[in-house]
Amino acid sequence: MSKVVLITGGSRGIGRAAALLCAARGWSVGVNYATNRNAADETVARVEAAGGRAIAIQGDVCEEADVIALFDATTRAFGQIDGFVNNAGIVAPGSALADMDVARMKRVFDTNVLGAYLGAREAARRMSTKRGGRGGSIVNVSSAAARLGSPNEYVDYAGSKGAVDTLTIGLAKELGPEGVRVNAVRPGLIDTEIHASGGKPDRAAQLGALAPLGRPGTADEVAQSIVWLLSDASAYVSGALLDVAGGR
């Protein structure tokens, strides 16, 4: 029986790369998206073309009912969940904190903090061996921003990822005795569309060149770490914050 994973924001970028790699390793994949149905369908089509199993599921991670429905849909399609990748996240255009409006800060914190906590809560309810689950692995997608602070760009985003790190540390302690490992990856400058959504399409290329490894990372390079943390190869790793940031 194949293992089952749900990936929030699996339609594009790092989430898509994780979906493709999970499927290639034999996992059945729930591919969540917010609005971009075509991108989610393409992720599913690529999984299926390679002989894997996936479904696309619309849902906003900020909405409790949507988050519950994502898990329900994945379980209905493939059975009980063994892995959860808490990946959906957004940035907003670069700005000093003094110039940020409250609507933008709420959007960032709702998606990156409340969304991540709701997803992790639902995963805990379904995966904990004390609650009828069969254990497994949760991987939170944080950011190097959590330790860099992102001054004059997005300290709101950086703080939201600090919350994801703290969630990882606490939840790993809660769920370790219940058969669930919890870890985070902290990507650095990765070449995805998130930078264009923050108004700087060339950001990864420009700043990535300054990283000790001299280039931005790829979504697939982050996915490799995510899939390792999902897999039994990392069986004694929990509560870890794994930097995938080219030495930055």
The residues annotated with a catalytic role in the active site are: 157
CB of 205 to ligand NAP, least distance (A): 11
Residue count, binding to ligand NAP (CB under 6 A): 32
Strands 53-58 and 28-33: parallel
Assess 74 for contact with ligand NAP (CB under 6 A): no
| CB-CB contact of 211 with 234 (8 Å) | no
The verdict on 141 binding ligand NAP (CB under 6 A) reads: yes
Do the beta carbons of residue 115 and residue 87 sit within 8 Å? no
Q: Does residue 64 bind ligand NAP (CB under 6 A)?
A: no
Q: 103, 51 in Cβ contact below 8 A?
A: no
Counted residue by residue, the chain has a size of: 248
Nearer to ligand NAP, 33 or 84 (CB): 33
| Residue 182 in the binding site for ligand NAP (CB under 6 A) | no
Contact call for residue 39 and ligand NAP (CB under 6 A): yes
Query: Which residues bind to ligand NAP, rule: CB under 6 A?
Result: 8-9, 11-15, 32-36, 39, 60-62, 87-90, 111, 115, 141, 143, 187, 189-190, 192-194, 197, 204
